[in-house]
Each structure stands twice: as structure tokens, then as C-alpha cells.
Amino acid sequence: MDKILVHGGRRLSGSIKVSGSKNSSLPILAATLLTREPCIVHGVPDLSDTNYMLQILAHLGAQVERASGTVTVTAAKIHSVAPYDVVRKMRASVCVLGPLLGRCKEASVALPGGCVIGDRPIDLHLKGFEALGSAVRVEGGDIKVFAPKLRGAQIDMKGKFGPTVLGTDNVMMAAVLAEGVTVIEGAACEPEVVDLANFLNKMGAKIEGAGMDRITVQGVPELHGAEHRLIPDRIEAGTFLVAGAIAGDGVTVKRVEPEHVRAVTDSLAKCGYAVDVAGDSISVLPNGEASALEIVTEPYPGFPTDMQAQMCALLSTNKGTSLITENVFPQRYMHVAELKRMGAKVRLEGATAMIEGVDSLLGAPVMASDLRASAALVLAGLKADGITEVSRVYHIDRGYEHLDEKLQELGAHIERVKAE
């Protein structure tokens, strides 16, 4: 198992290019199961999560070819059972349920593993399938769905902590081949949902309203092959913008959709950093002493929960007391104990973190608990004195394409070593 060593104190400068979106790639790759014809997806990042998804597609009978960032999937003949040993490593593997139900009218997918952030229930996905006319059973650790015929329906996808992105994706993919019209109320508005809808429409689906909280799907008899380029990964872009704020003397993030990261750039500007947007590039520069901030995480277009840990790392050395309230996954503070090991002053009260800015952090051995927490620890290490040793970096490889190499390009002294 690898570890990442971050030698703190180096200033970052220069530019990096953002990879294709992880959270778009998984449902879009799953959607290729909806047609017998070849689908070509460009900009697929080289991550353990995307590799798992390709393994799942191959297990289901699809032919999968990968040439650098371009993936071709031909699902001419598929079967509809994905057992535990295939899906156990990734929570997002549930997004094959919708396409399998849509095309095969049945599916059996093991309940997956994945991140440890709360329990992230998938009951909303199953409620959506039931509304379309599917029988749903959970037995022996498997989710089994079966429908002789899917019919359009009115479905509310809003959960306790807001809309569900994967749930919206899953129901949308099942509904494209249903008979009649499906209306998804309380739909997630994330850019990744829009990206999936655009891909499905290229395949011949009739979806309107993606990006708003009401999506309408007019069912069609069949879909055909399509070619698509993924949107840039807004969380990777945000992470590198925060790296530029934490330890940068002028960092430019290229191949980004500025509107998708507006909540992050607005927050950095409020802290006092100079943020410059030019086309599909964003630069961040220090601009005097950075100040404290109050953030509340919310579904898009609000501040993303997937950027909360990285902002904790940044605010731990900004002057004053910052407040972060986590409204999407209230238990998502696994990184706080590790930041405290580095000298951060953070107090948790329920879903709110109170961060008192300190003058400096100290390198320490820390452990990653989930994907974004691990990135936050690397970012804190950039600012810290001495060496920060981050273990369990397989979390990083799930969602960041070559994070250590891209930081090296910006001038960071960072190395990946084998753990003893």
C-alpha cells in the first residue's frame, strides 16, 4: 500500500489541466448498457473508480476498449447480474441498476461498499424504480429489480439531506426506455446530471429540464450509439484552486467550466484571494492576509460537500475564526482529527466545525479516511512545516487522476512511496 510524503514549505506556481469528471464518468459509462451499439466516451480519467466501472461492464458482457482517455463500450449482449465480488469496491456501482432495468427489464446487483461518509442510503433509487412499475426486493445482500413493463410516472427524488445525484441518474436511465412520460420532481441539479442527460439525448433519449429540479423524460423504444466528451471535474478543479490559495504564488487551473466552481471561487474571493477567470482558465493568487469565512454546504449550485474538507485545511491557517456547517453529510468530519494532529484548532458542534486560524501547521503522520479528506491532508501538508506522511492513499486514487504528479508540476515536493 502506498503512502504520500509531502515536504511542506514549497510555493506553487504554474498551471495544470483538469481531468474529465469522475462523477460524470461513472453513470455515463453505465448508460452505455442501454444500447447494443458502440458508444465512445472521451476524457475518461484514469482512476480506480472508473477502472472498477469498466470491470463491471465487462463482467456484464460488454466489450470494453480503452485507449488513454477514450473508452469504447459495445454492449451487444449483456446479462443482468452483478455479484458482490464485482461491485464491492465502489458505491457508484449501483448506477448500473437503472440501465439494466431499462434494457433487460430485470437486474440483480449486490449492495456495494465504497465511502464511509454516513450511510448514504439508496432507498430513493428503489422508490423511483417502484414508481416506474418495478418490483424491488433486497435479499441476501442483493438488490433485485424486475418489471415486465416500465411505465412513465411522477417521482419525487428529494431525500432528507436534499436531492440524490446518483438516484436522479439511476431513475433517469431507467425511464428513457419506459412507456410514456416520467416526471422527476426534486431532481438533483448538479452539472454531472446535465452531462448524463446530454449523453442520453445523443443516444436518442428525449429528456428536458436537466439542471433544474424538474426533469421530464419522454420514453422511446430504443437507443443508439453515441460519442461524448465528459465535462471537466469541478471538484478536482476546486481542489487545485484551494492548493493555489494555500501555498501558491500564482496557480492557474485550465480546462475548467467556471460556472461549475463558482461557489468555490466566490468563497476564495471572500477570504481575500485574487481570483481571475479567463475563458476556461482560473488563476488564484495571494492578496495580502487571508481572512476567516463562513460556509454552509448545500446541493449544487451551493457550496459542494466534496470541497468541505479542502476548505477546512485552507481555513486552518487563515486569520480569525471560520465556521463550516455540513448540511449534506453531517458526519463528514473524519479529516478533523487528522488536521488537529498537524496543529489545527478545530472544534466540532453537531454539523458545524469552528476553525480558529493558527500561524502554522506541523507535518505529521496522518491517515486518509475518504477521498476528499485525503486530498485535504495533502493540501495541509503543502503549508505545514516539515514532512506530512499520508497513508491509505488508495482513497486519493479513487477520484484524483495523478494528484501527486500534478502537484509536482506546480513545484510541490511530494513523493509516493511504498508503505512498509
Q: Can you list the alpha helix ranges (DSSP code H) found in 45-144?
A: 48-59, 84-87, 97-104, 123-131
The whole-angstrom distance between residue 331's C-alpha and the CA centroid of its chain comes to 17
201 and 264 both lie in a single domain: no
Q: How far is CA 133 from CA 84, 97, 148, 171, 179, in A?
A: 26, 14, 8, 12, 11
Positions annotated as catalytic residues are 115
Segment 111-163, tens digit of pLDDT: 875 544 455 568 889 999 999 999 999 888 889 999 999 999 999 998 877 88
User: What's the structural domain count of the chain?
Assistant: 2
Could you list the mean pLDDT of each consecutive 10-residue stretch along the chain, which spans 420 residues? 95 98 98 98 96 96 96 97 86 91 96 56 89 93 93 92 90 98 97 98 98 98 98 98 97 98 98 98 93 97 97 98 94 94 97 97 95 96 98 93 97 92
For the sheet with 181-185, list strands across it: 154-156, 181-185, 214-218, 206-208
Domain boundary among the residues 195, 229, 263 is at: 229
Answer whether 326's CB lies under 8 Å from 348's CB: no
The range of the structural domain enclosing residue 171 comes to 22-229
* C-alpha span between 404 and 408 (Å, rounded): 6
C-alpha to C-alpha distance for 291 and 267, rounded to whole angstroms: 11
In this structure, the answer to whether residues 118 and 181 fall within a common structural domain is: yes
Task: List the beta bridge partners of residue 7.
Answer: 387, 413
Same domain, 246 and 384: yes
Please tell me the predicted confidence (pLDDT) of residue 120.
54
| Same domain, residue pair 183 and 261 | no
Contacts of 299 (CB under 8 A, 6+ apart): 162, 163, 188, 189, 190, 328
Between the CA of residue 295 and those of 158, 311, 320, 323, what are the distances in Å? Answer: 22, 9, 14, 6
- Specify whether 336 is located in the same domain as 370: yes
Q: What's this model's pTM, rounded to 2 decimal places?
A: 0.96
Residues 203 and 268 in one domain: no
Residues 117 and 250 in one domain: no
**CA 380, CA 371: separation in Å to the nearest integer?**
15
The pLDDT of residue 140 is 82
Q: Give the pLDDT of residue 1.
A: 82
In whole angstroms, what is the distance from residue 130 CA to residue 252 CA? 47
First-to-last alpha carbon distance for the chain, in angstroms, is 8
The CATH code of the domain that includes 344 is 3.65.10.10
32 with 69, same domain: the answer is yes
Which helix (H) or strand (E) segment holds residue 296: the answer is strand 294-297
The phi and psi torsions of 65 (rounded to 5 degrees) equal -125, 140
Write the DSSP string, 149-183.
Answer: S-B--EEE-EETTEE-HHHHHHHHHHHTTSBSEEE
Last residue of a domain, one of 229, 247, 270: 229
